[in-house]
Amino acid sequence: MSAQTDRRWLGVALGLILGFMAVEVVVGVLAQSLALLSDAAHMLTDAASIVLALVAMRLAARPARGSYTFGLKRTEILSAQANGLTLLLLSVWLTYEAIRRLIDPPQVAGGLVVITAVVGIVVNLAAAWAISHANRSSLNVEGAFQHILTDLYGFIATAIAGAVVLTTGFTRADAIASLVVVVLMVRAGTGLVRESGRIFLEAAPAGIDPDVLGDRLVALEQVDEVHDLHVWQITSGDVALSAHVLVERGADCHALRRDLEQQLAADYRITHTTLQVDHAGAAPSRRPADVAGLPLAVPHCDTSHGAVHRDEPHPH
Protein backbone atom coordinates (compact mmCIF):
# COMPACT_ATOMS: atom_id res chain seq x y z
CA MET A 1 0.00 0.00 0.00
CA SER A 2 1.47 3.39 -1.02
CA ALA A 3 2.05 6.31 1.32
CA GLN A 4 -0.22 8.41 -0.90
CA THR A 5 -3.09 5.98 -0.32
CA ASP A 6 -2.43 6.06 3.43
CA ARG A 7 -2.54 9.87 3.41
CA ARG A 8 -5.85 9.85 1.52
CA TRP A 9 -7.53 7.55 4.05
CA LEU A 10 -6.16 9.56 6.95
CA GLY A 11 -7.48 12.73 5.32
CA VAL A 12 -10.98 11.23 5.13
CA ALA A 13 -10.85 10.37 8.84
CA LEU A 14 -9.59 13.86 9.69
CA GLY A 15 -12.52 15.53 7.90
CA LEU A 16 -15.05 13.36 9.76
CA ILE A 17 -13.45 14.03 13.14
CA LEU A 18 -13.16 17.80 12.77
CA GLY A 19 -16.73 18.19 11.53
CA PHE A 20 -18.29 16.26 14.37
CA MET A 21 -15.98 17.70 17.05
CA ALA A 22 -17.36 21.20 16.46
CA VAL A 23 -20.92 19.94 16.90
CA GLU A 24 -20.04 17.99 20.04
CA VAL A 25 -18.48 20.97 21.81
CA VAL A 26 -21.65 23.01 21.35
CA VAL A 27 -23.94 20.20 22.52
CA GLY A 28 -21.66 19.31 25.44
CA VAL A 29 -21.79 22.88 26.77
CA LEU A 30 -25.57 23.07 26.37
CA ALA A 31 -26.09 19.66 28.03
CA GLN A 32 -23.47 20.29 30.75
CA SER A 33 -22.08 16.83 30.01
CA LEU A 34 -18.49 16.12 31.03
CA ALA A 35 -18.63 12.86 29.08
CA LEU A 36 -19.44 14.75 25.87
CA LEU A 37 -16.85 17.45 26.54
CA SER A 38 -14.22 14.83 27.36
CA ASP A 39 -15.08 13.04 24.13
CA ALA A 40 -14.74 16.36 22.27
CA ALA A 41 -11.35 16.94 23.91
CA HIS A 42 -10.35 13.45 22.91
CA MET A 43 -11.55 14.10 19.37
CA LEU A 44 -9.31 17.19 19.28
CA THR A 45 -6.37 14.93 20.09
CA ASP A 46 -7.68 12.51 17.44
CA ALA A 47 -7.49 15.29 14.87
CA ALA A 48 -4.04 16.35 16.11
CA SER A 49 -2.83 12.74 15.96
CA ILE A 50 -3.95 12.41 12.35
CA VAL A 51 -2.33 15.73 11.37
CA LEU A 52 0.86 14.64 13.12
CA ALA A 53 0.74 11.30 11.32
CA LEU A 54 0.33 13.03 7.95
CA VAL A 55 3.27 15.37 8.64
CA ALA A 56 5.42 12.47 9.83
CA MET A 57 4.62 10.51 6.66
CA ARG A 58 5.84 13.34 4.47
CA LEU A 59 9.04 13.78 6.49
CA ALA A 60 9.73 10.04 6.57
CA ALA A 61 9.42 9.87 2.77
CA ARG A 62 12.38 12.22 2.30
CA PRO A 63 15.55 10.48 1.09
CA ALA A 64 18.58 10.04 3.35
CA ARG A 65 21.10 12.83 2.94
CA GLY A 66 23.63 14.85 4.89
CA SER A 67 23.97 13.87 8.52
CA TYR A 68 20.61 12.06 8.48
CA THR A 69 21.98 8.80 7.10
CA PHE A 70 18.70 6.95 7.68
CA GLY A 71 16.63 9.88 6.45
CA LEU A 72 13.80 11.07 8.70
CA LYS A 73 12.02 7.73 9.04
CA ARG A 74 11.88 7.92 12.81
CA THR A 75 9.65 10.98 12.71
CA GLU A 76 6.85 8.41 12.41
CA ILE A 77 7.94 6.89 15.73
CA LEU A 78 8.10 10.37 17.29
CA SER A 79 4.52 10.86 16.10
CA ALA A 80 3.42 7.57 17.66
CA GLN A 81 5.10 8.46 20.96
CA ALA A 82 3.49 11.91 20.96
CA ASN A 83 0.11 10.27 20.41
CA GLY A 84 0.68 7.91 23.33
CA LEU A 85 1.82 10.71 25.67
CA THR A 86 -1.17 12.83 24.67
CA LEU A 87 -3.54 10.03 25.63
CA LEU A 88 -1.84 9.60 29.01
CA LEU A 89 -1.79 13.33 29.81
CA LEU A 90 -5.42 13.77 28.78
CA SER A 91 -6.41 10.83 30.97
CA VAL A 92 -4.97 12.63 34.01
CA TRP A 93 -7.15 15.70 33.40
CA LEU A 94 -10.25 13.61 32.74
CA THR A 95 -9.69 11.61 35.92
CA TYR A 96 -9.56 14.81 37.97
CA GLU A 97 -12.73 16.20 36.37
CA ALA A 98 -14.61 12.91 36.72
CA ILE A 99 -13.79 12.61 40.43
CA ARG A 100 -14.84 16.22 40.99
CA ARG A 101 -18.18 15.54 39.30
CA LEU A 102 -18.69 12.34 41.23
CA ILE A 103 -18.43 14.39 44.42
CA ASP A 104 -20.60 17.25 43.18
CA PRO A 105 -22.59 16.08 40.14
CA PRO A 106 -24.17 18.78 37.92
CA GLN A 107 -27.45 18.40 36.08
CA VAL A 108 -26.98 16.55 32.80
CA ALA A 109 -29.36 16.65 29.81
CA GLY A 110 -29.53 12.92 29.19
CA GLY A 111 -31.47 13.18 25.92
CA LEU A 112 -28.91 15.42 24.23
CA VAL A 113 -26.10 13.21 25.50
CA VAL A 114 -27.67 10.05 24.04
CA ILE A 115 -28.40 11.59 20.64
CA THR A 116 -24.94 13.13 20.31
CA ALA A 117 -23.19 9.98 21.49
CA VAL A 118 -25.07 7.80 18.99
CA VAL A 119 -24.08 10.13 16.15
CA GLY A 120 -20.52 10.08 17.52
CA ILE A 121 -20.47 6.29 17.36
CA VAL A 122 -21.43 6.41 13.70
CA VAL A 123 -18.79 9.07 12.90
CA ASN A 124 -16.04 7.23 14.76
CA LEU A 125 -16.97 3.94 13.11
CA ALA A 126 -16.58 5.66 9.74
CA ALA A 127 -13.26 7.24 10.76
CA ALA A 128 -11.94 3.94 12.15
CA TRP A 129 -13.01 2.20 8.93
CA ALA A 130 -11.09 4.79 6.88
CA ILE A 131 -7.89 4.48 8.93
CA SER A 132 -8.11 0.68 8.93
CA HIS A 133 -7.53 0.87 5.17
CA ALA A 134 -4.15 2.53 5.76
CA ASN A 135 -1.02 0.57 6.65
CA ARG A 136 -1.54 -0.21 10.35
CA SER A 137 1.79 -2.05 10.57
CA SER A 138 3.19 1.48 10.83
CA LEU A 139 3.28 2.53 14.50
CA ASN A 140 2.53 6.05 13.29
CA VAL A 141 -0.78 5.02 11.67
CA GLU A 142 -1.52 2.70 14.59
CA GLY A 143 -1.20 5.67 16.97
CA ALA A 144 -3.87 7.60 15.07
CA PHE A 145 -6.04 4.48 14.88
CA GLN A 146 -5.82 3.91 18.65
CA HIS A 147 -6.99 7.49 19.24
CA ILE A 148 -10.04 6.89 17.06
CA LEU A 149 -10.77 3.47 18.54
CA THR A 150 -10.57 4.77 22.12
CA ASP A 151 -12.92 7.60 21.19
CA LEU A 152 -15.37 5.08 19.73
CA TYR A 153 -15.42 3.14 23.00
CA GLY A 154 -15.86 6.43 24.82
CA PHE A 155 -18.95 7.31 22.79
CA ILE A 156 -20.44 3.92 23.54
CA ALA A 157 -19.88 4.50 27.27
CA THR A 158 -21.32 8.02 26.94
CA ALA A 159 -24.44 6.76 25.19
CA ILE A 160 -25.02 4.25 27.97
CA ALA A 161 -24.45 6.96 30.60
CA GLY A 162 -26.90 9.29 28.86
CA ALA A 163 -29.52 6.57 28.78
CA VAL A 164 -29.01 5.93 32.50
CA VAL A 165 -29.37 9.65 33.29
CA LEU A 166 -32.46 9.90 31.10
CA THR A 167 -34.23 6.90 32.61
CA THR A 168 -33.11 7.00 36.25
CA GLY A 169 -31.86 10.54 36.89
CA PHE A 170 -28.54 9.15 38.17
CA THR A 171 -26.32 12.01 36.96
CA ARG A 172 -23.10 10.47 38.30
CA ALA A 173 -23.32 7.97 35.42
CA ASP A 174 -21.84 10.71 33.21
CA ALA A 175 -18.66 10.93 35.32
CA ILE A 176 -18.44 7.14 35.59
CA ALA A 177 -18.53 6.93 31.79
CA SER A 178 -15.61 9.37 31.68
CA LEU A 179 -13.61 7.09 33.97
CA VAL A 180 -14.29 4.18 31.62
CA VAL A 181 -12.85 6.29 28.80
CA VAL A 182 -9.82 7.07 30.99
CA VAL A 183 -9.04 3.37 31.46
CA LEU A 184 -9.15 2.80 27.71
CA MET A 185 -6.98 5.86 27.06
CA VAL A 186 -4.35 4.72 29.56
CA ARG A 187 -4.26 1.26 27.99
CA ALA A 188 -3.81 2.60 24.46
CA GLY A 189 -1.37 5.34 25.50
CA THR A 190 0.82 2.95 27.49
CA GLY A 191 1.04 0.57 24.54
CA LEU A 192 2.11 3.32 22.13
CA VAL A 193 4.71 4.77 24.51
CA ARG A 194 6.11 1.30 25.26
CA GLU A 195 6.42 0.27 21.60
CA SER A 196 7.88 3.59 20.44
CA GLY A 197 10.26 3.55 23.42
CA ARG A 198 11.53 0.10 22.38
CA ILE A 199 12.41 1.45 18.95
CA PHE A 200 14.16 4.54 20.34
CA LEU A 201 16.15 2.37 22.78
CA GLU A 202 17.24 0.12 19.88
CA ALA A 203 15.56 -2.96 21.36
CA ALA A 204 15.12 -6.01 19.17
CA PRO A 205 11.75 -6.09 17.40
CA ALA A 206 8.96 -7.98 19.12
CA GLY A 207 9.07 -11.61 18.05
CA ILE A 208 12.84 -11.73 17.50
CA ASP A 209 15.02 -13.18 20.27
CA PRO A 210 18.64 -12.09 19.57
CA ASP A 211 20.04 -15.05 21.55
CA VAL A 212 18.06 -17.55 19.50
CA LEU A 213 18.96 -15.72 16.30
CA GLY A 214 22.67 -15.76 17.18
CA ASP A 215 22.57 -19.49 17.98
CA ARG A 216 20.93 -20.20 14.62
CA LEU A 217 23.58 -18.23 12.75
CA VAL A 218 26.49 -19.93 14.52
CA ALA A 219 24.92 -23.33 13.80
CA LEU A 220 25.61 -22.77 10.10
CA GLU A 221 28.40 -25.04 8.84
CA GLN A 222 31.90 -23.48 9.01
CA VAL A 223 30.76 -20.61 11.26
CA ASP A 224 32.76 -20.61 14.52
CA GLU A 225 31.54 -17.50 16.33
CA VAL A 226 29.07 -14.61 16.11
CA HIS A 227 29.49 -11.56 18.31
CA ASP A 228 28.68 -7.83 18.27
CA LEU A 229 25.24 -8.95 17.15
CA HIS A 230 22.79 -6.05 17.01
CA VAL A 231 19.23 -6.15 15.68
CA TRP A 232 16.96 -3.13 15.85
CA GLN A 233 14.20 -1.23 14.08
CA ILE A 234 14.85 1.95 12.15
CA THR A 235 11.10 2.49 11.99
CA SER A 236 8.03 0.24 11.91
CA GLY A 237 8.68 -2.79 9.73
CA ASP A 238 12.22 -1.65 8.82
CA VAL A 239 14.57 -4.02 10.68
CA ALA A 240 18.36 -3.80 10.51
CA LEU A 241 21.06 -6.19 11.73
CA SER A 242 24.81 -6.04 12.11
CA ALA A 243 27.25 -8.66 13.41
CA HIS A 244 30.87 -9.78 13.41
CA VAL A 245 31.17 -13.37 12.20
CA LEU A 246 34.27 -15.58 12.55
CA VAL A 247 34.50 -18.58 10.22
CA GLU A 248 36.83 -21.54 9.91
CA ARG A 249 40.23 -21.08 8.28
CA GLY A 250 40.01 -21.75 4.57
CA ALA A 251 36.25 -21.11 4.44
CA ASP A 252 34.88 -18.85 1.72
CA CYS A 253 33.95 -15.66 3.62
CA HIS A 254 31.90 -14.22 0.77
CA ALA A 255 29.90 -17.40 0.21
CA LEU A 256 29.18 -17.74 3.93
CA ARG A 257 28.11 -14.11 4.14
CA ARG A 258 25.62 -14.75 1.35
CA ASP A 259 24.36 -17.88 3.14
CA LEU A 260 23.88 -15.93 6.37
CA GLU A 261 22.03 -13.13 4.57
CA GLN A 262 19.73 -15.67 2.86
CA GLN A 263 18.99 -17.35 6.21
CA LEU A 264 18.18 -14.00 7.85
CA ALA A 265 15.88 -13.05 4.97
CA ALA A 266 14.12 -16.44 4.93
CA ASP A 267 13.74 -16.96 8.70
CA TYR A 268 13.33 -13.39 9.97
CA ARG A 269 12.61 -11.27 6.89
CA ILE A 270 15.67 -9.16 7.70
CA THR A 271 17.20 -7.84 4.49
CA HIS A 272 19.05 -4.78 5.79
CA THR A 273 22.23 -6.46 7.10
CA THR A 274 25.83 -5.48 7.71
CA LEU A 275 28.00 -8.56 8.32
CA GLN A 276 31.74 -8.40 8.93
CA VAL A 277 33.08 -11.88 8.15
CA ASP A 278 36.65 -12.86 9.10
CA HIS A 279 38.58 -16.08 9.53
CA ALA A 280 38.86 -17.27 13.11
CA GLY A 281 42.39 -16.86 14.49
CA ALA A 282 43.39 -14.53 11.66
CA ALA A 283 46.34 -12.25 12.25
CA PRO A 284 45.32 -9.09 14.09
CA SER A 285 44.96 -5.86 12.18
CA ARG A 286 47.57 -3.14 12.65
CA ARG A 287 47.27 0.58 13.20
CA PRO A 288 49.56 3.49 14.10
CA ALA A 289 49.83 3.51 17.89
CA ASP A 290 51.78 6.57 18.88
CA VAL A 291 53.34 9.77 17.67
CA ALA A 292 56.47 7.92 16.59
CA GLY A 293 54.33 5.97 14.15
CA LEU A 294 55.16 2.55 15.54
CA PRO A 295 52.37 0.08 14.76
CA LEU A 296 50.76 -2.04 17.45
CA ALA A 297 48.80 -5.24 16.91
CA VAL A 298 45.09 -4.85 17.67
CA PRO A 299 43.03 -8.06 17.99
CA HIS A 300 39.49 -8.24 16.72
CA CYS A 301 36.98 -6.92 19.25
CA ASP A 302 38.86 -6.92 22.56
CA THR A 303 35.53 -6.22 24.21
CA SER A 304 32.43 -7.63 22.58
CA HIS A 305 29.37 -5.37 22.62
CA GLY A 306 26.85 -8.03 23.52
CA ALA A 307 26.55 -11.79 23.80
CA VAL A 308 29.07 -14.08 22.12
CA HIS A 309 27.74 -17.14 20.26
CA ARG A 310 30.21 -19.94 19.61
CA ASP A 311 29.99 -23.24 17.79
CA GLU A 312 30.88 -25.39 20.79
CA PRO A 313 31.99 -28.97 20.08
CA HIS A 314 29.58 -31.55 21.41
CA PRO A 315 31.05 -34.25 23.72
CA HIS A 316 30.83 -37.80 22.41
Q: How confident is the model over 158-174, as pLDDT tens digits?
A: 888 888 888 888 888 87
Which region among 40-49, 74-83, 147-156, 254-263 has the lowest average model confidence (pLDDT)?
40-49
152 burial type by CB count under 10 A (0-12 exposed, 13-18 middle, 19+ buried): buried
Q: How confident is the model over 18-45, as pLDDT tens digits?
A: 888 888 788 778 777 766 676 677 677 7
CB-CB neighbours of 311 under 10 Å: 20
Domains of the chain, residue spans: 3-200, 210-310
- pTM of this structure: 0.74
Class of domain 3-200: mainly alpha
When pLDDT is averaged across residues 131-136 and rounded to a whole number, the result is 78
The dihedral region occupied by 207, where left means phi > 0, alpha psi between -120 and 50, and beta the remainder, is left
Alpha-carbon torsion (18, 24, 30, 36), positive or negative:
negative
pLDDT at 20: 83
pLDDT at 290: 45
pLDDT over 60 at 1, yes or no = no
CA 155 to centroid of chain Cα atoms: 25
User: Which CATH code fits 210-310?
Assistant: 3.30.70.1350
Which among 203, 83, 185 is positioned nearest to 142, based on CA atoms?
83
Q: How confident is the model over 275-296, as pLDDT tens digits?
A: 999 988 764 444 444 444 444 4
Q: Evaluate whether 3-200 and 210-310 have a shared fold.
A: no
Laid out side by side, the sheet with 238-247 consists of 272-279, 238-247, 223-235, 309-310
Helical (H) or strand (E) element with 171 = none
